[in-house]
Structure 1
Amino acid sequence: MDIQDKVVLITGASGGIGLATARLFAEAGAKVALAARSADTLTTIVNELHEQHREAIAVPTDLRNKDAIEALVDRVFQQYGRIDILINNAGQTVLGNVADVDIDQFRQIFELNVLGPVEAMQAIIPKMRQNGGGLIINVSSIVTKMHLPAISAYAATKAALNMISDTAREELASENIRITTMLPRATATNFGKNSLATPKTNQLRPPQGGPEPDSAEAVAQKILEAARNEPHEQYMDR
């Protein structure tokens, strides 16, 4: 897809991969709508983009709230009359071995990592149908292709998102609504610091070693590449 003048809705846009993606898509000529819980942070980012003569709006949204998600989509559609690309990026992790992961926290990240993207898709798909199609990029993780201690709950939520993406791709193909799954590797953001933990799991750490983490900007470049080329799956090394 040609990104110039396209309307792109990015969730989890207040930091990390989401922020880097918002900046990059705006630089590429897209009209970006930024969604996250932090209104002040989003306002600062949008003001920064406006100073660079980029088109952007901020829509503070709790991605665990179905009504808020529907209001977000309506607000963007009201502003621009269409939504060409949805980037489901908002997410969180919880540390814990299968034997003792906190179930309430597991449920909490399931709501954000799985139900939030599904509800965003359900809100946006009718709008995309009105406009003859669109692209949805669901940000998953390479850990769904691995078996790593302490992050099984997070990997499970992202594996569920993979299956949703694969199935929706088949269901929506005839309506010109395309689905891409983005699978980042370890990324140098505050994602790990923002993970949920309990006193019992607070000392756990994801497995160490392997290559240096990618920068958020490097992941954003791959997301932009995915938007332009629309593969079924986008990896960092392809």
Structure 2
Amino acid sequence: MKIEGSVVIVTGASSGIGAATARAASAAGARVVLAARREDRVRELAGQLEGAIAVRCDVTDVLQVTALVQAAIEAFGRIDILVNNAGQGLQAEMEAISLDDFRGVLELNLVAPLAMMQAVLPIMRRRGAGAIVNVSSGTTFADVPGTGGYVASKIALERLSAIARNELEGSGITVSTMIPFATRTEFLSSIRAGRADAEAMTAGAAFDEPERVAEAILELVESGEPQLDLVPAAYGGTNRGGEPR
């Protein structure tokens, strides 16, 4: 699907990959709907992007998801692309995972993307076209101690995306999965639990810039491929250095 002239909803758009994706989509000629809980940030960003609107939205609240989609329709008349980017980390070994924290991460990383897809799919079906990109994580490529709760939520999202893609075959709607590697965002500072452990584990790691991930997300929208990753080949991914594949 072409980015130029499209209407794009980006969740988690207040910083990091979401904000970078919104900027990249706007620069490519899209009209962008910025969604996040931090209303001040998305309003500031919307003011920098031509034709963009900002909507405060906690994607774990179905009523707010419905209001977000309605705001997009009222502003632009349609929704062409959804980037499900909102998410949160969790770092704790299996025996120490708080069940409340685990439920919270599942709600944001897995249930909320499903709610967003359910909200936009009827609109896309009426037009016979659409693209959905669900943002996963390169941590799903390894079995690193302490990442079990977070990885479980993202692996489930990847399978949900793949099955949704098959269910929508022939509808004109594609569902794809973006798998970034370590990225320079506010992820570690907003982790639900285990921040110190996560920071220690990633100390000295080479981080991608969010703009690189944003470019890959738009590439995935345009290609309609099932999946794209920025994970280095040494970690089992397809990235052999340089540009994403």
Both structures adopt the same fold (TM-score exceeding 0.5): yes
Q: In the alignment, is residue 124 of structure 1 matched against residue 112 of structure 2?
A: no
CA shift in 2, pair 1:202/1:128, >3 Å: closer
Q: In the alignment, is residue 232 of structure 1 matched against residue 232 of structure 2?
A: no
Percent identity, aligned pairs only, is 41
CA distance in 1, matches of 2:142, 2:115: 27
CA distance in 2, matches of 1:123, 1:224: 21
Which of residues 96, 102, 113 is equivalent to 1:100?
Answer: 96
- In structure 1, the partner of 2:191 is 195
Q: Following TM superposition, by how much is the alpha carbon of 1:211 offset from its aligned partner in structure 2, in angstroms?
A: 5.3
Q: In the alignment, is residue 80 of structure 1 matched against residue 76 of structure 2?
A: yes
- In structure 2, the partner of 1:7 is 7
TM-score (norm 2): 0.91
1:149-168 → structure 2 map (5 Å cutoff): 149-168=145-164
Amino acid paired to 1:161: L
Q: In the alignment, is residue 48 of structure 1 matched against residue 48 of structure 2?
A: yes
SS at match of 1:214: coil
CA distance in 2, matches of 1:10, 1:183: 16
Amino acid paired to 1:34: L
Amino acid paired to 1:123: A
SS at match of 1:13: coil
Amino acid paired to 2:226: H
- In structure 1, the partner of 2:207 is 213
Q: In the alignment, is residue 174 of structure 1 matched against residue 188 of structure 2?
A: no
CA RMSD of aligned residues (A): 1.3
Which of residues 131, 136, 139 is equivalent to 2:135?
Answer: 139
SS at match of 2:18: helix
Listed as ranges, the gaps of 5+ residues in structure 2 are 231-238, 240-244
CA shift in 2, pair 1:94/1:164, >3 Å: same
Q: Following TM superposition, by how much is the alpha carbon of 1:45 offset from its aligned partner in structure 2, in angstroms?
A: 0.6
Q: Following TM superposition, by how much is the alpha carbon of 1:143 offset from its aligned partner in structure 2, in angstroms?
A: 1.2
Q: Following TM superposition, by how much is the alpha carbon of 1:205 offset from its aligned partner in structure 2, in angstroms?
A: 2.5
Q: Following TM superposition, by how much is the alpha carbon of 1:21 offset from its aligned partner in structure 2, in angstroms?
A: 0.5
Q: Following TM superposition, by how much is the alpha carbon of 1:203 offset from its aligned partner in structure 2, in angstroms?
A: 3.9
Amino acid paired to 1:134: G
Given that residues 189 and 195 in structure 2 are in contact (C-alpha distance below 8 angstroms), is that contact kept between their aligned partners in structure 1? no
CA distance in 2, matches of 1:6, 1:203: 41
Given that residues 188 and 195 in structure 2 are in contact (C-alpha distance below 8 angstroms), is that contact kept between their aligned partners in structure 1? no
- In structure 1, the partner of 2:242 is none
- In structure 2, the partner of 1:114 is 110
Q: Following TM superposition, by how much is the alpha carbon of 1:128 offset from its aligned partner in structure 2, in angstroms?
A: 0.3
Listed as ranges, the gaps of 5+ residues in structure 1 are none
CA distance in 1, matches of 2:3, 2:190: 31
User: How many residue pairs end up in the alignment?
Assistant: 231
Amino acid paired to 1:12: G
CA distance in 1, matches of 2:158, 2:22: 23
CA distance in 1, matches of 2:186, 2:170: 39
